[in-house]
Structures are given as structure tokens and as C-alpha cells.
Structure 1
Amino acid sequence: MSFYSDDTGSYSYDVHEIGVGRTVTHTTGRFYVYVDGKQLYGVQSLRFEEMRDAAGDMRSRDIPSAEVRFVENSCCLPTWWSRSVVVPLDTEVRENSTGTFRDTWVDLPTHFNLFAGRYPAKPKGALTMSGVVGYSYQAETLCPTCTLKAMRANGIKVQKGKPHEGAIRRAAQNLGIDFDDEHSYDSGDFPTPVTEQQCETELTEVPSDKTGTRHAISDERCTGDGCGKWLVLGEKSPSEAALTRYVRDSYELPHALAKTVAGELRRWGLSHPEFIKEENARQAATMFPHDFATVDFRGNSQQVVMFPTPQADGDVCFYCEMLWEEHMFTCDTCGIDIPALTPHRHQVPTKGQCKHPLIPAP
């Protein structure tokens, strides 16, 4: 790990964005929304435009002090080793699109050519002017590449070297099929288009809340043999390790907790960063025993210190946003899970557990 120092502290360069399932570039921190000079925890992103929109929305709701700051920090160092600089909401955003991703940069007085986030772009050929992202063919929902393979496997001649829609349209013309009228033929005989608006995957494993909200994402996986590519995103979900790193870095969770949270999110069907919201990550974190951590300002309002126990009434955990009393801890000695207010024969002082005298376990 490499460092540099100045009169306000020491910092690490070795912080990088984990986005779209892979390490994409190096940066030295994140963008946060501040109100009245204080950081709003949980309102943070590696992407400037997301925080710009969030701050702009707050200003439209009569919160004029809302602003975006770039906070220079590292997940490898204590949180108080950081400094911040205000990023005006009208800062010019430069971008470069590679066809798969859209990379953005901004210029700040303290950071020239600062990387400001990577966004997934619609891959070439994945979304045409007509909005086609895939096809329904022989009881399968297929991406364009798998559709062409399936057609050729079934003896349908498809011209090579053309965009998928043009090649499929020409094949339909050769077979006397009116491709523009999908009701005139059966998808078991020839592919019918699937548009972005038609894509939806219901998430039945996401725990229900009191409102009974139906959970779904506006995308579908290709069901072709061994493919699994998301039709709208045009790419596969990241590996378990990559998703763990994304959850860890995006929501500032300890690695062990991030790994269990990422696994739970995958079980729910949220296997790609583009589908994960902060509320999903925090909700998953409440389901597993973990250290309590709360943050408090010390001295300069930009300096934040993390504590393993509540410092004031109503302090919630930085990781799951639950009260300390609602926490479940794992005893370091016997390995069992213990509710925070339950007497236990062992002490867990480093995890915020009450220090009871030796009491026989029930």
C-alpha cells in the first residue's frame, strides 16, 4: 500500500472502485451528501452524478445547505484519516463511452481529472432503435447471441456479420415470415422480439415488509445453455468475490459481513450491482450477527470516529441501521449467537456486549 502525507494527515492511494462486477479504476475516496456541514451516512456513492442528483433533490425540498463533497479516504484506514472538498452541483462532467461502459471525470481545485464513476452502457447490438434486447424462442428467453446459435442449430440459415436484428429479419423474410407481426407466427418456430419494457424478474425471496410490496427488477436472464447474461444490461452478474467487494466498498461493511450480505442478496436474486439498493444491503445485514459500530464527530466536523458501543440514546449501527438493543452478537469464546440484552457466561467487550458477571448459561 502506498501513502502520502500532508499537514492534515496520511492517506492511501490504494482505494479503487468495484463497479459492474470488476475493478475498473483507481480513485481516492467517495462522493457524499452533506447537510449543514455534516455528512449524511448512507448517502454516498463512487459516482458523482448520483450524489449530485440526490443533493439537487434535497435542495428542491427546501434543504438549501445540501451539497456534494468528495471525501478522500480508504477502506483500509481508520475513518478519521480523511479530508473533503465541495463539488459544485454544476460541475462539468466529462465522459468517455466504450460501448460497454460510460466512464466519467470531473476537475476539482484539489483533484484534476478525478474519476467520477463508471456506468454500464448498452452494449452495441444489445439494444436497437426498436428496443429489442432479446428473443423468445422455443420456450426460452435468449440474448441475441444465443438466439442466433439456436436458430443455426435448428437448421435456419442466418447471415453472419450483420447486426442480430437485421440477420434475424432477413432469415424471416427468406422463410416467408412477417417478422413485424409477431402474432402471425409461433415463437416455437421462429424467434419473437423481447423489448426492454417487457423484461421483468419477480424477486420472491426478498423478505416482505408490512406494506406487502412486490419486489421485481426490470431485466431478465438469458436462459441459453450456460449463458445467464442479463438482457438489458448486456452482461453477466459478477462472481461471488467481486460482488462481495462491491458490497464491502459501496456500503462500507466489514469484509466478513459483506460476504454474508452479498450471499444473501444473490439468494434474493439481486446478483448484479445495478439492482442493489442501499436498503437491500442494510436489510440483509440485519439478518446476521455482526459487530455494532456507531459514528460520532470529534473536533472538526469532517473528522469522524467509529465506536463499538452507542454514544447517545438512539444511536444506530452504521452497518445495519438498527439499535444496539436489537443486535445479535457472536460470542468469541463459545461461538454461539447472543442477543445484546441476554445475560451470558462469557464477556464480549470488543463487540459492545453487556459485561455481565459469570452467569451459568441456560
Structure 2
Amino acid sequence: MTQQTWDEVGGLLPHDQFRAASEAIVANIEQVIEGKTATVRLALAVLLAEGHLLIEDVPGVGKTKLAKALARSIDCSVRRIQFTPDLLPSDVTGVSVYNQETHDFEFRPGAVFANLVVGDEINRASPKTQSALLECMEERQVTVDGVTYQLQTPFMVIATQNPIEMEGTYPLPEAQRDRFTARIAMGYPDPGAELAMLDGHGATDPLQELRPVSDAATVRQLIATVRQVHVADAVKQYAVDLVTASREAPDLRLGASPRATLQLLRTARAVAALEGRDYVLPDDLQALAVPVLAHRIIPTADAQLARRTTDAIVSELVHRLALPQERKRTPYDTPRPAAGNGRGPYEPRRP
């Protein structure tokens, strides 16, 4: 897609404006999160893919700070939910309250009525409360007392949880995990980044001084631009083959769902756009396979006894699956050029 085409389509941003807006958000978050550029960019990619993010790691590595830094970098409505065992579904979705003056029930919106919803320690709430997020995460709406309320756009749930602290927690059910587009782990910072953290976070918290560098309207334009990223038929088939391989793997009791295929492709579009491309490569799908697919699959009992992680199983599937071959060209495709001229078989035809 040419520069002119991107400008002519309503709501889209030119390449330079898209890059400037996305890089400003990344740089703003990195004022708080040291040395985690890849993780920050993936979190932004999930937002632009209209998905939801699950941050799962040990305590103290900055899970909540990443979620709050992303939320504060965008001038939009933000709500935080501290998940606890006594949290009720109505606290999340909202409740109808009787008004003594009007003698009628009026709806009071819950915490999900925001552009960015930060759910801290999501696995500490009961399954009944966790299920309150199912409808809003998939259908972007909330139904209370038979009345359906549409949620704002953009809408994203960023949830955190600790994988090793099981006291008083409720594991997320498969239906809940499948609604998260990607699961990421923060990991420990390298010594240089940790030393810089001591200097930057020792006296004050940089999160308190963080100011928005974008707004909801700009994010909507970024999302509209990501939707226009080209995906060749061969790349689409590769995504289907990758997910199908998870369903046929002998080490897995449950493979990835069709929702996983769709979200894998959406996130690949966002990653390609953040890297300055208007087309998706098979490399994008390979890089996203673990964060997008690993939390959705369930290993067999034998695989669990062998201490095989879902991340390792997905990595093996990616390694074994052959890369897509160039499909038969049509009159609408750009002929595949000779090596070295900068064009590849997955690029869209350009006028």
C-alpha cells in the first residue's frame, strides 16, 4: 500500500505519523520499564490488534507497572480492578440500583466501562467473578438485567498474575485464558538495566510523573491502520497449519482454538506495522507463536510428568513445521523479483 493510498482511506495514518505515534508510546513506557523493549512493543502490538494481555511472572518484576505505564501513556479512560476473593461480578460489570427519587432502577457502570482495564492479580478472584469478563473481552459489551451495554473503543484488558503463588488463588479456566490474545513474562532485568533502575527509581517513582503522549482517537487511527496490513494467502495458510499442528500434537490434550488463529494473524499485522511494514512475514507468526498460543494449550499427563512446558512444545511445533511456499501467482500479484531488489513474495501489489 503506497503512501497516497494510506492517506486516502479515512481514519488511517501515514507511515511517518504511525511510526511517530507508536514510538512515542514505547519511549514513554520505557521511562518506567527498563531494558524490556521487546516486551513493551509486544504489549503495544496487542493493543493495536484489539486484543487483551495477560502478564504472568514472579512477584516484583514490574507486571503492574507495565500495565499502568501503558494505561497512563494514553489519554483515555482507565480503571483498575484489584481482584480479591470477595470481589463480586457486579463490581466488574455494574449493577442496577433503585432510585428513590425516580422510583425506578438505574444502571451504575462497573469497572469494565473504560478504554483500558487493569486487572491486578486476576487469579485471586473466584471463578464466578472471573466469568464476568468473558462477555466483555470477546464481544465488547456487557449485559446486566437483560440490557446490553456497548463498551468504548479502544477496549483492552491487561491482567496480571503470579504463576508460583498458589495460596488462595483460582486458576484461570480455559475459556478465560483463550480470550487473552497473548501471555507475556517480564523476566528479570539484566544487571545494567537493574542498576539504571536503582538510579531512576531510588528516590521517586517515575510512574507518578508519566504523562500521556497519545489519546483514544489516535489509538483508533493506529488500529484502523493495522487492519489494512496485507497478509498473503500463503501466510494465512501457514497460520492455519501452525494452529492445526497444535491440535494434532501427541503431547497436547487440547490444541489452540480458531480464535487463536484469528488473534495470531491480528497480532502479526500489528507487529508488522510497528516494524514499518505493510505486509506480514512468516517470521512474524513464528515470533508470536509462543506468546499467542502457549497459554491456550493443555499438555497431556505424560508431558506434564516429563516437565515439558507449553512454551517448549509450541517452539518445537514451529521448528518442525515447514515454511510456506509461494502460492501460484494471479494477475493481481506483483511478480516475484530476483534476489537483492528488496521485494518479496509476501508484499502486496503496489500501484
User: If the TM-score is normalised by the length of the shorter chain, which range does it land in?
Assistant: under 0.3
User: By percentage of residues, which structure has more helix?
Assistant: 2
Choose between structure 1 and 2: higher strand proportion. Answer: 1
* Higher relative contact order (CA closer than 8 Å, sequence separation 6+): 2
Query: TM-score with structure 1 length normalisation?
Result: 0.26
